[in-house]
Amino acid sequence: MANPIVVFTTSQGSFEVELYADKTPATVQNFVQYVSDKHYDGTIFHRVIDGFMIQGGGFGADGKQKPTRAPIKNESGKGPKNCNYGIAMARTSDLNSATAQFYINVADNAFLDDGQYCAFGKVTQGTQTIDKIKKVAVDKPGRLSEAQPKTPVVIESATVKPQ
């Protein structure tokens, strides 16, 4: 079976992400379940740092944190890298605390490839949307992060592309 493709439609445009189920199966299964549950629909990119990453999946447009399922085991170091346009799981200081929040690298962030942060896919179409999001004006600090977009960047929908 081919790796799943997730199509994101945002207030800044659309993009597609190929998920590497062959390398990070538990992480991909977790992410696809959140997509299937429509968890990401209506969430925002709440942390945008040009030259580093854009992070989303945890807060609604109203700024309220969305409930999540239990955390998953960290699968970092199994192949995918935190390269430009790579997608990875966000987490707390606990190595095995990733739930729904994710980030997309907007630079090659090899320093994150130390067994700490699990990359599990890559943007394959719509990189111009990611480039547009990384350039939005941010409040420093913002209410939800140290670099929150002044105008919300909303994930309108996320769906698994039929194969």
Task: Look at 1 and 107; give whichever has higher pLDDT.
Answer: 107
Evaluate if residue 109 carries a pLDDT over 80.
yes
| 62 contacts: CB under 8 Å, gap ≥ 6 | none
Q: Rounded CA gap, 56 and 47, in Å?
A: 7
pLDDT in tens, 128-140: 999 999 999 999 9
In this structure, CATH architecture of domain 5-160 = Beta Barrel (2.40)
Q: Which residue has the tokens 């992410």?
A: 31
Distance between CA atoms of residues 109 and 87, nearest Å: 11
| pLDDT higher than 90, residue 163 | no
Q: Annotate 40-69 with DSSP letters as a single string.
A: TTTEEEEEEETTTEEEEEEEETTSPBPP--
Question: Does residue 57 contact residue 39 with C-beta atoms inside 8 Å?
Answer: yes
48-87 tens-digit pLDDT: 999 999 999 999 999 999 999 999 999 998 878 999 999 9
DSSP label at residue 33: H
> pLDDT-based confidence at 1, cuts 50/70/90?
low
pLDDT band for position 34 (cuts 50, 70, 90)? very high
* Cα gap 85→67, rounded to integer Å: 27
Q: Give the integer Cα–Cα distance in Å for 51 and 83.
A: 12
Q: Domain ranges in the chain?
A: 5-160
Pairing of strands 86-89, 102-105: antiparallel
